[in-house]
Amino acid sequence: MAETYPRSCAVHQPNFFPRTSTLAKIFRADVWVVLDDVQFNARDYQHRARLATLNDPAAQRWLTVPVHRPRGRASLINELRVADPDAARRVALLVRQYYGRGPHWPAAAEILEEVLAELELTGLLVNVAEVSTRAMLARLGWRGEVVRSSSLTASSQRSPRLADLTRAVGAHTYLCGQGGARYLDEAPFAARGLTVAYPPPPELARKDGMRTLSALWAFAALGPEAIRDELTGLDLRVG
């Protein structure tokens, strides 16, 4: 059984149909701070996701939602709007094309429907991406709290900012993913009486193609119960 820790926090940008490793980090946290007030990165996963055929996770293609950046490259994630009025139809067609015959398609279909509804309702990228993650977490039984960084006060420097956000939501432990571990400075956390933990990626995320693939594939091919069983078996490593 996984060891438990005081209230924990994951800080992550909203990702469109997130990858399994991203989902696993948030799943282990009591609070997900949606990092919505940082600069949009067109090369990241904020407005796009990778789909793959059911029988070959390595055979992938991008599913991209075009966005309008009102201030060009300086635009923040929470300022972006979906630029394609036909985006909902195109997303629906591609996801059903890839996963409609999956053994657990109903679970993936429920996630898809929530995203399509948000696309039609607001057309705000941050809302659409957040809903895609919330929908996955809900089907895994996650009961955590979601807070947007734009509603909190924090430093503008990278590691101090993460430490401030962790403390602002009343968490004691910050969960750091593999990517963040390369640049994270633990000193600001220690100065605030906080700890840093490094949850390992789930075994599923280490398999061929899964590092970049959206977790939608796993929902359609394996089902929520199989994903939940794997994620609940993860332990945290405290730095």
Is there a domain that residue 237 lies in?
no
Joined together, the tokens standing for residue 232 give 């609940």
Question: Which of 113, 164, 178, 134 has its CA nearest to residue 27?
Answer: 134
Is there a domain that residue 3 lies in?
no
Q: What is the mean pLDDT of residues 102-123?
A: 97
Question: Which structural domain range is residue 159 located in?
Answer: 8-231
Scan for tokens 């633990």, then name that residue: 186
| CA–CA separation, 107 and 226 (whole Å) | 12
Lowest mean pLDDT among 39-43, 64-68, 177-181: 177-181
Q: What is the mean pLDDT of residues 185-192?
A: 98
Residues 6+ apart with CB under 8 A from 152: 33, 164, 165, 168, 169
Taking CA atoms, 176 is separated from 85, 89, 104, 125, 148, in Å, by: 36, 36, 30, 24, 18
Is there a domain that residue 101 lies in?
yes
Is there a domain that residue 236 lies in?
no
Average pLDDT, the chain: 93
Q: What is the tally of structural domains in the chain?
A: 1
| CA–CA separation, 140 and 61 (whole Å) | 25
Q: Which amino acid is at 70?
A: P
Question: Which of 112, 80, 83 has its CA nearest to residue 96?
Answer: 112
Give yes or no for a contact between 21 and 201, defined as CB atoms under 8 angstroms apart: yes
Whole-number pLDDT of residue 5: 52
Q: What is the mean pLDDT of residues 36-52?
A: 97
Query: Is the pTM here over 0.85, yes or no?
Result: yes
Q: In this model, does residue 148 exceed pLDDT 80?
A: yes
Give yes or no for a contact between 179 and 201, defined as CB atoms under 8 angstroms apart: no
Is there a domain that residue 197 lies in?
yes
Is there a domain that residue 64 lies in?
yes
Whole-number pLDDT of residue 1: 32
Is there a domain that residue 238 lies in?
no
> What percent of the chain is predicted at pLDDT more than 70?
95
Scan for tokens 């992550």, then name that residue: 12
